[in-house]
Amino acid sequence: MKKRCLVLIGGVSEYAYLLEQIIKCKALWNYFVGKYERDHIYNLNYQPIMDKHALVMKSIFDPIRLILTPNGWAAERYVNETLQKLSQEYEEVDVISHSQGSWMVMKADVKLNNLWNFANPIGWFSPLARTAVRINIGKPKVEVKNLYYIYSSKDLISKRPPEIKGKWTCKADYIEVIDTYTSHDMRDYISKINYKYPWVLR
């Protein structure tokens, strides 16, 4: 069994952007390559599944698709099954997720080592949207050793801090919550974490 891998799961977009954005942060990318090796860093692209047969507005309705459509359910299964497969191949599976990706990983029936959960919509500013996401997740299936909730009080998608109690702990041994005061853009999150909280992703 191989030692460890890193899985990247991005949010609403027409392409899997997370790898590209992390590569641009050279110090962080070099650290990840040294820790995991390039062949053991996986950038999950569920977007083609989510947008299958969509003619217009491909990504903007993804949160609705995730809850209500077979395409969304299939994308969710893809994320879940991929993480399960990797957990059988590696001793440790670490995940960096952003926005909708953070929502999806909460539903994965898998045990993870580190989960860096950026901009999770469980903190959406809209009570209606926040409740819809939380109902959809139900009780998180994912179990985590070290859980990092990274949100921003300036980000409408993850404006509210997560409740670190009950089911939202994901049975973690260690939990850290950080407010970055940035926009929703993952590039801003990465930049702020790498600059002010460099130990978090290392």
Find the helix or strand (DSSP H, E) in which 176 lies. Answer: strand 174-179
In a domain, 108, yes or no: yes
User: Per-residue confidence of the chain (202 residues) as pLDDT tens digits?
Assistant: 899 999 999 988 878 899 999 999 999 999 999 999 999 999 999 988 887 766 555 666 677 777 877 888 899 999 999 999 999 999 999 999 999 999 999 999 999 999 999 999 999 999 998 999 999 999 999 999 999 999 999 999 999 988 778 899 999 999 999 999 999 999 999 999 988 998 898 8
In a domain, 17, yes or no: no
In a domain, 31, yes or no: no
| Domain interval for residue 175 | 2-9+36-196
In a domain, 162, yes or no: yes
In a domain, 28, yes or no: no
- Give, rounded to a whole angstrom, the gap between the first and last alpha carbons of the chain: 22
In a domain, 68, yes or no: yes
- Distances 90 to 100, 107, 183 between C-alpha atoms, Å: 25, 20, 34
pTM of the model: 0.93
In a domain, 149, yes or no: yes
Domain count, the chain: 1
Burial of 176 (0-12, 13-18, 19+ CB in 10 A): middle
